[in-house]
Amino acid sequence: MSYKREKKVRKEREELFLYGHANGVKVINNNIEAALRKWKRTMKDNGIIDWVKQNREYTKPTTRKRKKMNDARRADWVRRQQEAR
């Protein structure tokens, strides 16, 4: 006796994108988890999560400038170390 395997037919997935809202997503079939995953991915791709993390607290302009200079010095030092090898 041979059994024929029925091929699973994939249903076309509705687009989760919500028109008219830049960062909105649709909830389909009460599947909040999938919508939340899509929303988080959208927020991460747009850079909003990084922006929120950076702006959690105020940093003075002098502190920003000092950090930028220290980062540049370190990058220069690393570059010189690699050239010396």
- Residue pLDDT, tens place only, 22-67: 788 888 888 899 889 989 998 999 999 999 998 999 999 999 999 9
**Does the pLDDT at position 7 exceed 70?**
no
Within 10 angstroms of residue 48's Cβ, the number of other Cβ atoms is 13
- Where does residue 8 rank: exposed (0-12), middle (13-18), buried (19+ CB within 10 A)? exposed
Nearest Cα to Cα of residue 29 among 14, 9, 12? 14
User: Which stretches of the chain are DSSP H helices?
Assistant: 32-46, 48-54, 61-84
Within 10 angstroms of residue 28's Cβ, the number of other Cβ atoms is 13
